[in-house]
C-alpha cells in the first residue's frame, strides 16, 4: 500500500472494506497502517458493514480461531459496540485511525465509493466560541485531526450548564427497530466509548438502573443484554444497595462522567489557545475570507477562516438566522454520602449518582428563568422526587439546609433536538448548540459530525439523521405561487 507513506499532514484516506462477517481484510490494512504510516497528522478511515452484526463474544471467538495480531484485535474488542443497528464510530487516537461500523438497517444508506482521500483545499483556521461540553467536543474533534483551535470563553471554562461535578448518560430506549435513528442513544453509546478510551479518570461509574413501565417492557424486549435487561425489585435492591420498590431496567453501558476530566484533556492540547473574552459580534473580512470575532467594545478578539458557535442560548445573538432556544433552569443537589448509599446511578423521574463520596440528586426544571442562584425549594423538589421512590433511604439524609448545589441553564429549540451544521446565510460559520438536557450524550457525536461536514469527510451517521438536526430546519421555504388562471379574451 504505497499510498500510506505519501499521505500529507491533515490528509485523511477513506477506504470501504466491505462486510465484516465475510472477510477481515481491514485488520491487515490496520496492521499495515501501523507499520507504514507517515509521521505527520494524516489519518486512515476504514468503513465496514455488517447486515447481521456479530456480538462481541462471537467476534472474539472468530479472532481466536485465526492468526490476527492480538494487539489490534484486543483494541478493537475493547471498543466494539453492542450488536445493534446504527452507525458506530470507533476512534483509535494513538493509531490515527477511525473505524466506522455500519450495522443492520443502515447499511443500505451508505454511499460507497471505495477509496477517497481528502485534505481540506480551502485554508483552515478555527475559532470555537464557548467552553462547555459543545465547545470542548468540537475543539477535541478538530485538534485530534491536527488543526489548531482558538477557544473563546467569556467566563471560566465549564461555567455554564456543563460544569456540574458529574454528568449522567442515561435515557430511555426507543424500540430496537428505531434505534439506528435515535441520536440520543447512539450519542450516549458513542460518548461512553470515546471519552472512556481517551481520558484517564473521566468515567466516574458504569452501569445504571432506570425505572421501567409497561411501554418500556415492550420496547426493550428485543435488545441484547449488553444494552439493557430487566432486573426485578430484589435484584435491583441487591445491585444498588438501597431498597428498590419495583422492577428496573439495568443498562450496563450507561456512565457517569467527570466534566472536569474532559476539560483537563481538551485544554492540555498544545493546539488549543484559550482566550477569556465575550464574543459580541462576527464580522466577515471579504478581503481575506476570514471572520473576525469582536468583543462588546468592538475590539477584535480573534480572526479565522471558520468559526464554530457553541455558546448555548447565546448562539442566536451572534447568528440571528439560528432558531431561538428556550431556556430551562435546573438545579442539582449534593450531600455527603450516608453510610448506606446507592452503589450505582439510578433514574426514577429524577436521578441519583455518586461522585467523590457525595450523593448527587437531580434535577429541577424551571422554564423561562435565567437566574442561576441556589434555591432551597429546588433542593426540596429534588428530595421529593427521590423520597417518592426511596422513602426509607431519604429519611436518613441530612437536612437540606446543609446541602450543596449548582444551578444552570439548559437551552433547546422547539423540537428538542440539537442544532448542528452550517449557519444559514453565514458562510464558514457553523453551530453546535441546543443540547437541552442531554448535552453529554449529544455533543461528542454532533461535534464529530460537524468536523466531518466542514472537512468533507465521511459522516459518523446517516445523511438522514444529520438532516434532522440541521440549523435551517425551522426556516419555511417560500412556496412559488402559481399565477391565477385568467381565461383568454375571445
Ligand X SMILES: Cc1cc2nc3c(=O)[nH]c(=O)nc-3n(C[C@H](O)[C@H](O)[C@H](O)COP(=O)(O)OP(=O)(O)OC[C@H]3O[C@@H](n4cnc5c(N)ncnc54)[C@H](O)[C@@H]3O)c2cc1C
Question: Is residue 363 a contact residue for ligand X (CB under 6 A)?
Answer: yes
Question: Is residue 433 a contact residue for ligand X (CB under 6 A)?
Answer: yes
Radius of gyration (C-alpha) of the chain in whole angstroms: 24
Q: Are 228 and 216 in contact (CB under 8 A)?
A: no
Contact pick of 19, 57, 71, 155 for ligand X (by CB under 6 A): 155
Q: Are 358 and 335 in contact (CB under 8 A)?
A: yes
Pick the closer one to ligand X by CB: 435 or 452. Answer: 435
Contact pick of 73, 75, 85, 154 for ligand X (by CB under 6 A): 154
Question: Is residue 408 a contact residue for ligand X (CB under 6 A)?
Answer: yes
- Cβ of 386: how many Cβ atoms within 10 Å? 24
CA distances from 74 to 64, 71, 79, 176, 354 (A): 11, 5, 9, 28, 31
Question: If binding means CB under 6 A, how many residues of this protein chain bind ligand X?
Answer: 40
- The least distance separating ligand X from the CB of residue 177, rounded to whole angstroms, comes to 25
- The least distance separating ligand X from the CB of residue 15, rounded to whole angstroms, comes to 34
- The least distance separating ligand X from the CB of residue 309, rounded to whole angstroms, comes to 9
- Cβ of 372: how many Cβ atoms within 10 Å? 15
User: How buried is residue 57: exposed, middle or buried, by Cβ count under 10 Å (0-12/13-18/19+)?
Assistant: exposed
Question: Is residue 469 a contact residue for ligand X (CB under 6 A)?
Answer: no
Pick the closer one to ligand X by CB: 12 or 262. Answer: 262
Task: Return the H-helix or E-strand segment holding 284.
Answer: strand 281-285
Pick the closer one to ligand X by CB: 421 or 439. Answer: 439
Q: Are 128 and 279 in contact (CB under 8 A)?
A: no
- The least distance separating ligand X from the CB of residue 436, rounded to whole angstroms, comes to 6
Pick the closer one to ligand X by CB: 104 or 323. Answer: 323
Question: Is residue 441 a contact residue for ligand X (CB under 6 A)?
Answer: yes
Contact pick of 292, 332, 417, 445 for ligand X (by CB under 6 A): 332
- The least distance separating ligand X from the CB of residue 450, rounded to whole angstroms, comes to 13
Question: Is residue 159 a contact residue for ligand X (CB under 6 A)?
Answer: yes
Contact pick of 12, 134, 192, 445 for ligand X (by CB under 6 A): 134
- The least distance separating ligand X from the CB of residue 17, rounded to whole angstroms, comes to 33
Question: Is residue 330 a contact residue for ligand X (CB under 6 A)?
Answer: yes
Write out the three cell numbers for 162: 456543563
Closest CA to 198 of 257, 270, 251, 148: 257
* Buried-exposed string 188-223: b where 16+ CB fall within 10 A, e elsewhere: bbbbbbbbbbbbeebbbbebbbbbbeeebeebbeeb
Question: Is residue 185 a contact residue for ligand X (CB under 6 A)?
Answer: no
Interface with ligand X in residues 252-311 (CB under 6 A): 278-279, 310-311
| Residue the block writes with cell 441484547 | 224
**Sign of the alpha-carbon dihedral angle for 464, 468, 471, 472:** positive
Pick the closer one to ligand X by CB: 47 or 435. Answer: 435
- Distance (Å, whole) CA 75 – CA 208: 25
Question: Is residue 350 a contact residue for ligand X (CB under 6 A)?
Answer: no
- The least distance separating ligand X from the CB of residue 250, rounded to whole angstroms, comes to 18
Pick the closer one to ligand X by CB: 143 or 331. Answer: 331
Alpha helices, DSSP H, located in 321-361: none
- The least distance separating ligand X from the CB of residue 78, rounded to whole angstroms, comes to 23
Pick the closer one to ligand X by CB: 207 or 245. Answer: 207
Question: Is residue 439 a contact residue for ligand X (CB under 6 A)?
Answer: yes
Question: Is residue 471 a contact residue for ligand X (CB under 6 A)?
Answer: no
- The least distance separating ligand X from the CB of residue 347, rounded to whole angstroms, comes to 10
Contact pick of 53, 86, 160, 405 for ligand X (by CB under 6 A): 160
- The least distance separating ligand X from the CB of residue 263, rounded to whole angstroms, comes to 11
Q: How long is the chain?
A: 490
Question: Is residue 128 a contact residue for ligand X (CB under 6 A)?
Answer: no
Tell me the pairing of strands 306-309 and 351-355.
unpaired
Find all residues with CB under 8 Å of 397, minimum gap 6, and list them: 335, 338, 383
Contact pick of 127, 129, 231, 466 for ligand X (by CB under 6 A): 129
Alpha helices, DSSP H, located in 53-132: 56-65, 70-79
- The least distance separating ligand X from the CB of residue 460, rounded to whole angstroms, comes to 18
Compute, in degrees rounded to 10, the torsion defined by CA atoms 335, 341, 344, 345. Answer: -40
Contact pick of 46, 72, 149, 161 for ligand X (by CB under 6 A): 161
Interior CA angle at 221 toward 218 and 225, to 5°? 150
Question: Is residue 53 a contact residue for ligand X (CB under 6 A)?
Answer: no
Question: Is residue 120 a contact residue for ligand X (CB under 6 A)?
Answer: no
List residues binding ligand X (CB under 6 A). Answer: 129-135, 152-155, 159-162, 164, 167-169, 278-279, 310-312, 314, 330-332, 362-363, 408, 410, 433, 435-441
Amino acid at each position: 500500500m504505497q499510498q500510506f507513506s505519501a499521505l500529507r499532514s491533515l490528509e485523511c484516506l477513506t477506504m470501504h472494506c466491505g462486510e465484516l462477517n465475510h472477510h477481515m481484510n481491514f485488520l491487515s490494512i490496520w496492521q499495515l497502517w501501523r507499520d507504514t504510516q507517515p509521521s505527520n497528522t494524516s489519518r486512515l478511515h476504514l468503513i465496514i458493514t455488517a447486515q447481521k452484526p456479530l456480538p462481541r463474544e462471537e467476534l472474539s471467538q472468530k479472532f481466536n480461531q485465526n492468526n490476527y495480531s492480538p494487539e489490534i484485535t484486543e483494541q478493537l474488542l475493547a471498543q466494539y459496540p453492542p450488536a445493534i443497528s446504527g452507525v458506530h464510530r470507533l476512534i483509535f487516537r494513538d493509531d490515527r485511525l477511525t473505524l466506522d461500523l455500519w450495522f443492520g438497517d443502515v447499511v443500505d444508506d451508505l454511499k460507497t465509493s471505495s477509496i477517497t482521500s481528502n485534505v481540506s483545499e480551502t485554508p483552515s483556521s478555527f475559532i470555537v466560541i464557548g467552553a462547555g461540553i459543545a465547545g470542548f467536543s468540537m475543539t477535541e474533534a478538530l485538534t485530534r485531526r491536527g488543526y489548531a483551535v482558538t477557544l473563546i470563553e467569556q467566563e471560566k471554562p465549564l461555567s455554564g450548564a456543563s460544569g456540574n461535578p458529574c454528568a449522567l448518560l442515561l435515557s430511555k430506549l426507543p424500540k430496537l427497530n428505531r434505534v439506528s435513528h435515535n441520536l440520543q442513544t447512539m450519542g450516549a453509546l458513542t460518548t461512553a466509548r470515546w471519552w472512556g478510551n481517551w481520558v484517564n479518570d473521566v468515567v466516574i461509574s458504569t452501569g445504571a438502573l432506570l425505572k421501567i413501565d409497561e411501554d418500556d417492557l415492550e420496547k426493550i424486549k428485543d435488545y441484547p443484554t449488553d444494552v439493557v435487561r430487566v432486573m426485578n425489585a430484589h435484584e435491583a435492591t441487591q445491585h444498588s444497595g438501597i431498597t428498590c420498590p419495583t422492577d428496573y431496567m439495568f443498562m450496563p453501558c450507561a456512565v457517569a462522567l467527570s466534566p472536569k476530566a474532559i476539560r483537563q484533556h481538551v485544554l492540555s492540547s498544545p493546539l488549543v489557545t484559550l482566550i477569556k473574552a465575550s464574543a459580541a459580534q462576527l464580522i466577515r473580512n471579504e478581503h481575506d475570507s476570514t471572520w473576525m470575532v469582536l468583543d462588546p467594545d468592538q475590539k477584535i478578539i480573534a480572526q479565522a477562516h471558520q468559526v464554530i458557535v457553541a455558546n448555548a442560548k447565546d448562539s442566536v445573538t451572534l447568528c440571528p438566522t439560528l432558531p431561538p432556544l428556550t431556556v430551562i433552569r435546573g438545579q442539582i443537589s449534593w450531600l455527603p454520602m450516608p453510610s448506606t448509599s446507592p452503589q450505582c446511578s439510578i433514574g426514577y423521574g429524577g436521578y441519583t449518582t455518586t461522585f467523590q463520596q457525595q450523593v448527587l440528586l437531580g434535577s429541577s426544571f424551571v422554564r423561562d428563568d435565567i437566574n442561576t442562584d441556589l434555591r432551597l425549594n429546588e433542593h426540596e423538589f429534588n428530595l421529593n422526587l427521590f423520597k417518592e421512590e426511596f422513602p426509607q433511604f431519604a429519611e436518613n439524609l441530612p437536612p437540606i439546609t446543609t446541602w450543596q448545589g449548582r444551578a444552570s441553564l439548559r437551552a433547546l429549540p422547539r423540537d428538542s433536538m440539537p442544532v448542528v451544521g452550517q449557519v444559514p446565510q453565514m458562510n464558514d460559520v457553523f453551530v453546535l448548540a441546543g443540547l437541552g438536557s442531554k448535552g453529554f450524550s449529544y455533543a461528542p457525536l454532533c461535534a464529530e459530525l460537524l468536523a466531518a461536514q466542514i472537512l468533507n469527510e465521511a459522516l459518523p451517521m446517516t445523511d438522514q439523521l444529520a438532516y434532522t438536526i440541521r440549523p435551517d430546519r425551522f426556516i419555511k421555504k417560500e412556496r412559488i405561487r402559481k399565477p391565477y388562471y385568467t381565461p383568454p379574451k375571445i
